[in-house]
Structure 1
Amino acid sequence: MARRKRVYSRRRRINYGRVALLIALLLVIVLLVVNVFSKNRYVSHIEEALEQELTLMTGSISTVSKVDATIYENDGIKYTNQHENIKRLMTYNSSLSEDMDKVNDVKTLLENLPNAEKTEAIAELSPKDDGYYWIEADIFTKDRVLIFRVENEYNFDLYYDMENEAIYVKEKYYDEFSQKYNKVKFQGYKATDEFIDTLNNILK
């Protein structure tokens, strides 16, 4: 009687090295996607600007009764900040030694924003009799990318609701006159005690 041959199926060995590499690649892709979206956040750009070597910082603090941050265009010329009842309270310029205390105070205001508690996101800020403090900050920096030195410019606008002690900035950051801003909501933040104290100190 002939012997029957037993047929054994060969078990495929799992290549754990390839699996680990595939998982690592997927994680890198996910992190890159998350980083791209998070980098466009307004607050992320504030953090980025403050981490670099500052070459110039200028701006002002004003009161306004109504915020209009729409980007308009007329005959190819773009403009914005058509707020109502603008009353300029102070200006600052880091190139002036006598302004350095004010510059450092405004930097403190900016540094507080990433640590502040998020509140609501709204399409527009309602007019108020008490109004808003409008804090403008134009920051110029130097940074190193590989072996190259690059210069960057950042333009920030913060709106402080005096009545509710809340800070508003756009959710996303674009170039100063980008009309993409017109579709972006304001993100609210609860002002920290340090923010309020510093602002009061600047304006006293």
Structure 2
Amino acid sequence: MAKRRRMYSRRRRINYKPILFLAAIIVILIAVVLNIFKKDSYISKIDEALTEMSQMSGTISIVSKIDATIYEKDGLKYSNQHEGIKRLTSFDGKVSDDSSKVENVKSLLDSLLNSDETELVSELPSKDDGYLWLEADIISEHEILIFDREKEYNFDLYYHIEDEIIYLKEKYFDEFSKRYNKTNFQGYKATDEFISILKELTENQAGKREE
């Protein structure tokens, strides 16, 4: 009886290791790129500054027209050429009487981190006494190896009183970077906590505006 010769097809084993390795590299690269953009966001810098804050100072004013353009003349850069500025109050962490105001401003900024994003706009429309402008300069201490290093942050927030929307630049750069001129404003819906703290900081100041 003739023997049958069986034909076996050999299955090729696919080596998935290079594919998985390549996929892992792509995922890591995407994560790194997203993290870079996230670190440059204005609101992430506020979070970073508050984490290691050692000093804070600034002002709160009523403003009618927002002009956050960075200008340069004779080699000097300047900004905040707003119109209708009426200063309501100031705060300085080095002044003992301002300690409660500084804590309130810190809580105000901290509550902003929980706000929902709204629209992205290139400029803010003029409105008589329509905005509250919070200017805050924060110094934080970061430990690098065995050394402490101070870092200064400069923040400008614009609160649309009627719409209860907070506007700040979408990206954070050095204080007088002209890249701000091409950066849009990101809107955030003010939380009840934000509105409550802001009222506490300003409600008794309208009748005694600082010059």
State TM-score, norm by structure 1.
0.90
Equivalences for residues 19-98 of structure 1 within 5 A: 19-51=19-51, 53-98=52-97
Instruction: Give the secondary structure class of the aligned counterpart of 2:168.
Output: strand
The alignment of Structure 1 onto Structure 2 pairs a total of residues equal to: 200
How big is each residue's C-alpha offset from its partner over 1:149-169, in whole Å with a ceiling of 9 and x where there is no partner?
A: 332111100001111111110
Code of the aligned partner of 2:134: I
How far the C-alpha of 1:112 sits from its partner, in A, is 1.6
Q: Secondary structure at the match of 1:188?
A: strand
Q: What percentage of aligned pairs have identical amino acids?
A: 56
Counterpart CA distance in 2 for 1:22 and 1:12 is 21
The one-letter amino acid paired with 1:25 is: I
Whether the 8 Å CA contact 2:63–2:128 is kept in 1: the answer is: no
1 CA distance for matches of 2:99 and 2:177? 31
Residue in 2 aligned with 1:105? Answer: 104
- Map residues 1-204 of structure 1 onto 2, 5 A cutoff: 11-51=11-51, 53-203=52-202, 204=204
Q: What is the aligned-residue RMSD (CA, Å)?
A: 2.1
Question: Residues 159 and 167 of structure 1 are in contact (CA less than 8 Å); yes or no, is this contact kept in structure 2?
Answer: yes
Q: Name the stretch that deviates more: 150-159 or 75-84.
A: 150-159
Q: Alpha carbons of 1:12 and 1:97: their partners in 2 closer, same or farther (altered >3 Å)?
A: farther
TM-score by length of 2: 0.87
Deviations 1:91-112 (A, max 9, x none): 1111222211111111111112
- Cα displacement string for residues 12-31 of structure 1 (whole angstroms, at most 9, x for unaligned residues): 43334444333322221110
> Which residue in the other structure is 2:209 paired with?
none
Counterpart contact for 1:41–1:173, Cα < 8 Å? yes
2:208 matched residue in structure 1: none
Tell me the CA shift for residue 148 of structure 1.
4.5
Structure 2 gap ranges (5+)? 205-211
Contact 1:130 1:163 in 2 (8 A): no
For structure 1, which runs of at least 5 residues remain unmatched after alignment?
none
- What amino acid is aligned across from residue 138 of structure 1 in structure 2? D
Secondary structure of the 2:113 match is helix
Query: 1:112-137, CA deviations, whole angstroms, 9 ceiling, x for partnerless residues?
Result: 22211211111111111232110011
